[in-house]
Amino acid sequence: MAVSGDDIQAVCYLYKEGDEKNKALLTADKLYIIHRKRPFEFELANIKGFSFNVRKLMAPLITGGVTASLSFVALFKDVFDPYVVAFTLTTGLLLFYYGWTGQLVFTVSTRIKDYDFSIPGITDNLKAFTGFLTGMSLIGRKAGSQPLTFFVFMKKEEWSKARDHAGDILLHPKPFRLYTRDQAINRRGNDVAIEIDPLKTNHGVKYIRNPRTGRLAPHLMGDLNRDAIVRVEESGR
Helix axes 58-77, 82-101, angle to 10 degrees: 150
Residue 1 pLDDT: 54
Rounded distance between C-alpha atoms, residue 7 and residue 69, angstroms: 54
**Tens digits of per-residue pLDDT, 159-204?**
888 888 888 999 988 899 998 877 887 776 778 999 998 878 888 7
Residue 210 pLDDT: 74
Average pLDDT over every residue of 52-66: 84
Q: Are 119 and 105 in contact (CB under 8 A)?
A: yes
**Chain mean pLDDT for the chain:** 82
Rounded distance between C-alpha atoms, residue 8 and residue 199, angstroms: 9
3-state secondary structure 57-88: CHHHHHHHHHHHHHHHHHHHHCCCCHHHHHHH
**Tens digits of per-residue pLDDT, 193-216?**
999 988 788 887 877 777 777 667
Check whether 143 has a pLDDT greater than 60.
no
Q: Are 9 and 136 in contact (CB under 8 A)?
A: no
> Of all residues in the chain, what percent carry a pLDDT higher than 90?
27
Residue 145 pLDDT: 56
